[in-house]
Amino acid sequence: MRPFFIYHFPAIACATTIITLSSVPNLTVPEVRFLASDKVAHFIEYAVFAFLVYRSFSHLFTGRITRTFLFSGLFLSLFALTDEIYQHFIPGRFTDAYDFASDLIGAFLVLILLSMLAKKRQRSLRA
């Protein structure tokens, strides 16, 4: 039970938080004097989520970096798409392709970085 709470629960908790926030009608982001601050928030949100998802899948696919990357990427893409579509049905919320793009950019930059680090670590262990 302990590995579940260490590796998988944080990703589940993050997913639950994302869906909970998406469920809030008429949710407004505090106005910040920064260009596209909403998109930056989406980027950061999915970058953190990607880290947690990659960590979870890497525990399931120990030593299989490519499989971990692919499953994490597929899961995050489908989750982000589903989240954006879901918001269409919430009063005062709407589906935004730019939010989806920001989600994917944040997620995939982290996934690529983590995969590169894992491959480097794997090569150093073989040497």
Residue 76 lies in a domain: yes
Q: Which domain holds residue 45?
A: 36-126
First-to-last CA distance in the chain?
34
Residue 7 lies in a domain: no
List the pLDDT tens digit at each of the 127 positions of the chain: 898 999 999 999 999 999 999 999 987 766 666 666 788 999 999 999 999 999 999 999 988 999 999 999 999 999 999 999 999 999 989 899 999 999 999 999 999 999 999 999 988 888 7
Q: How far is CA 85 from CA 3, 29, 33, 79, 100, in A?
A: 32, 19, 28, 10, 10
Tell me how far apart the alpha carbons of residues 1 and 83 are, in angstroms, rounded to a whole number: 29
Tell me how far apart the alpha carbons of residues 121 and 67 are, in angstroms, rounded to a whole number: 16
Number of domains in the chain: 1
Sign for the CA dihedral angle at 73, 76, 81, 84 comes to: negative
Tell me how far apart the alpha carbons of residues 71 and 87 are, in angstroms, rounded to a whole number: 24
pTM exceeds 0.75: yes
Residue 9 lies in a domain: no
Tell me how far apart the alpha carbons of residues 58 and 119 are, in angstroms, rounded to a whole number: 12
